[in-house]
Structure 1
Amino acid sequence: MKALTLAATTLIAATAAAADTPELVVYTYDSFVADWGPGPQIEKAFEETCGCDLKFVGNGDGAALLARLKLEGARTDADLVLGLDTSLIAAAKETELFATTEVTADYALPVDWADTTFAPYDWGYFAFVHNKDLEAPANFKALGESDLKIVIQDPRSSTPGLGLLMWVKDVYGDEAPAIWEALADNVVTVTKGWSEAYGLFLEGEADMVLSYTTSPAYHIIAEEDETKAAAIFDEGHYMQIEVVGRLAGSDQPELAAEFMQFMVSDAAQTILPTTNWMYPAVMPSGGLATGFEELVTPENARLIEADKVPALRDEALAEWLSALSQ
């Protein structure tokens, strides 16, 4: 009886302790929470300092996060959203669901950062990744004139897919529809997210895949495979800056703000380059892992101002849909 009573007391105490532990819910994209992604390490590192239960919820790719948030509105269970980017910031602010949050960091970004709603945690350049034995095109026009097979992502659900639309629009402006018409024959398929597209490329289903100039670092560092490369376009490369933001309706506002500050800390920034395979928003104290120095760096960085993206997005999406539906 005493043993039973002790067991019951221990269970009650454990249950009470769990009930007292605050939970922080972070919506993010699937690859972030994968076993090989940064999620597990970020979760462990933050929980060691916060006395909380950090819960990542994967939801497809980056653009799908905003769609889910719009659907849930103020009823959302999320305290934070991690994985939107500069192409989605304006649309996210229009929802009026995000709160201003003060984050202090010495950013190592190619552009100045003054936004007070979202904090950047990593960044990179979009590029088409291919095997090194392929003679890669030097620009979009050359790609459209080739017989190369490519895999891209849907701009309605994927931040790389949306980034590609902005990249083409930024380079070609009114000529963008003609570029998409030329590229339509090259597109093998359009996937919902980055993971599916990159997987198809690795399986040999396409010659090139829309990804990042940093993607070969994964193969170099994690696999000791130097057969992958990113094609450098003479037109320049569009940048992506990924951000984290706090929901105004969060019931853990202080803890959510603490997480945003943690994401730009050395602890988190050290994890991200070799798990999310992007450049850190703040340079880690130990620098970048050996292998990053082998990556190519575009000479011309492109980025449309966040507040100008929504109007261009609607136009570019219509052009893309028209070309690929023919």
Structure 2
Amino acid sequence: MHRHCRFVPALGLCLALGIAAAPGAFAAPRTLTVYTYISFVADWGPGPQVKKAFEAQCDDCTVTFVALDGGVDILQRLRLEGESTAADVVLGLDMNLMEEARDLELLVPHGADTAALTLPIDWDDETFLPYDWGQFAFVYDTEALPNPPASFQALLDAPDDLKVIISDPRTSVPGLGLLLWIKHVYGEDAGEAWQQLNQHVLTVASGWSQAYFSLFMNGEAPMVLSYSTSPAYHMAVEDTDRYQAAEFAEGHYLQVETAAITRNAENPELARAFMQFMLTPAFQRHIPLGNVMYPAIELDDELPPAFDRLIDPDGFTFSPDEVQEHRREWIREWLNASS
């Protein structure tokens, strides 16, 4: 009789028929709203599988992704909406944006057990929970550029006809990563390094997707700013070795991507459950080929074999505090060099 009663539009009629409604039977499913970036929720990204896996283990819940252009856009959206934000979780703020996000005072401790983390750096932040990591790199087309530069300086000294595609550090997380990479390598001489690099820049894209898919994959230039892990997708999914990452002798800048819970989350318990879920194999197994990054935990034998064929350069990073203190100054330095 309960099955038939679900088709009766008025709850009162069911009660009139003498059927007691079970507690919660008519409660709406809980919705977890996650702000993230476009590539995370793409059909080939980890989002669809992450949504399916989490909804399968939570009690009557739905995950709704709100896709923005990238981590910078997530931060800007959070700043604009303030305490009225619809986000329960923001996923895609990398370590270089953490302190600016923290200063908004809109985020709370995640409460997740981080014992399983296996990052190349120590991590003890109570607000931002890592879910993957990688290193910035220039990916090149081996058919168009069989002998790529083996150092940053070799790129700067290359003939002017070697062109690269980069992203804007004001609007793009990889663009900001390149800014920090050059500053870390060249220090006070970063402005001069930018002037040399600008001789090779075909265009400055607004974001990674435009730079990689719209320009590089269409053959506009033989090199593009991306990640050392990007070739893994081509090797594992497309079965081609054509696209590889150039390993630079100076080392490569490290990126850690994180998620956080908003202070006014409509479903804080569901948000905390999602954060803990992020550090389980059910989430992490979709990172290597879905987000094309290294997982934040050990996956035993689940890491695709293509990852064994990636470059393994030395890594370095500024602290989040250093980035927050100097980001605008270093962007001005880039703008002055570009002009």
Tell me if TM exceeds 0.5.
yes
Structure 2 residue 154 is the aligned partner of structure 1 residue 142: yes
- The Cα of 1:140 is off from its aligned counterpart by 2.5
- The Cα of 1:142 is off from its aligned counterpart by 2.1
Asked whether the 8 Å contact 1:64–1:156 carries over to 2, the reply is: no
**2:20 matched to which residue of 1?**
none
Q: Alignment partner of 1:217: what SS?
A: helix
Structure 2 residue 256 is the aligned partner of structure 1 residue 204: no
CA distance in 1: counterparts of 2:282 and 2:164, whole angstroms:
37
CA distance in 2: counterparts of 1:18 and 1:127, whole angstroms:
52
**1:187 matched to which residue of 2?**
201
Q: Which deviates more, 215-224 or 139-148?
A: 139-148
Instruction: Return closer, same or farther for 1:47/1:316 CA change in 2, 3 Å cut-off.
Output: same
The gaps in structure 1 that reach 5 residues or longer are: none
CA distance in 1: counterparts of 2:26 and 2:332, whole angstroms:
50
Note the aligned Cα RMSD (angstroms): 1.8
**2:128 matched to which residue of 1?**
118
**1:230 matched to which residue of 2?**
245
**1:9 matched to which residue of 2?**
8
CA distance in 2: counterparts of 1:33 and 1:287, whole angstroms:
22
Amino acid paired to 1:232:
E
Amino acid paired to 1:243:
T
**From 264, 267, 275, the counterpart of 1:260:** 275
Q: Identity of paired residues, percent?
A: 48
- TM-score computed with the length of structure 2 as normaliser: 0.90
How many residue pairs are counted as aligned between the two chains? 318
The superposition leaves residues 199-250 of structure 1 with CA deviations (integer Å, 9 ceiling, x where unpaired) of 1101001111111111000000000011111011111100000001000111
**From 72, 84, 98, the counterpart of 1:89:** 98
Structure 2 residue 169 is the aligned partner of structure 1 residue 155: yes
Instruction: Return closer, same or farther for 1:44/1:10 CA change in 2, 3 Å cut-off.
Output: farther
CA distance in 1: counterparts of 2:301 and 2:285, whole angstroms:
8
- TM-score computed with the length of structure 1 as normaliser: 0.93
Asked whether the 8 Å contact 1:60–1:192 carries over to 2, the reply is: no
Asked whether the 8 Å contact 1:63–1:155 carries over to 2, the reply is: no
Instruction: Return closer, same or farther for 1:17/1:77 CA change in 2, 3 Å cut-off.
Output: farther
Amino acid paired to 1:46:
F
Amino acid paired to 2:82:
G
Amino acid paired to 1:26:
V
Asked whether the 8 Å contact 2:107–2:260 carries over to 1, the reply is: yes
**1:169 matched to which residue of 2?**
183
Asked whether the 8 Å contact 1:61–1:193 carries over to 2, the reply is: yes
Instruction: Return closer, same or farther for 1:122/1:318 CA change in 2, 3 Å cut-off.
Output: same
**1:27 matched to which residue of 2?**
35
- The Cα of 1:11 is off from its aligned counterpart by 9.8
Asked whether the 8 Å contact 1:140–1:179 carries over to 2, the reply is: no
Asked whether the 8 Å contact 1:266–1:285 carries over to 2, the reply is: no
**1:301 matched to which residue of 2?**
315
Asked whether the 8 Å contact 2:152–2:249 carries over to 1, the reply is: no
Q: Alignment partner of 1:109: what SS?
A: coil
**1:66 matched to which residue of 2?**
75
CA distance in 1: counterparts of 2:104 and 2:117, whole angstroms:
27
The superposition leaves residues 42-64 of structure 1 with CA deviations (integer Å, 9 ceiling, x where unpaired) of 00000111121100110101111
**1:178 matched to which residue of 2?**
192
**2:256 matched to which residue of 1?**
241
Q: Alignment partner of 1:210: what SS?
A: strand
- The Cα of 1:312 is off from its aligned counterpart by 2.0
Structure 2 residue 89 is the aligned partner of structure 1 residue 80: yes
Asked whether the 8 Å contact 1:129–1:208 carries over to 2, the reply is: yes
Q: Which deviates more, 208-217 or 180-189?
A: 180-189
CA distance in 1: counterparts of 2:25 and 2:166, whole angstroms:
47
Asked whether the 8 Å contact 1:273–1:280 carries over to 2, the reply is: yes
Moved runs in structure 1, 4+ residues, more than 4 A? 5-8, 10-13, 16-19
CA distance in 2: counterparts of 1:6 and 1:281, whole angstroms:
47
Amino acid paired to 1:94:
D
Superposed, 1:30-49 pairs within 5 Å as 30-49=38-57
Amino acid paired to 2:191:
P
- Structure having the higher Rg: 2
Q: Alignment partner of 1:261: what SS?
A: helix
Asked whether the 8 Å contact 1:100–1:116 carries over to 2, the reply is: yes
The gaps in structure 2 that reach 5 residues or longer are: 15-23
Amino acid paired to 1:136:
P
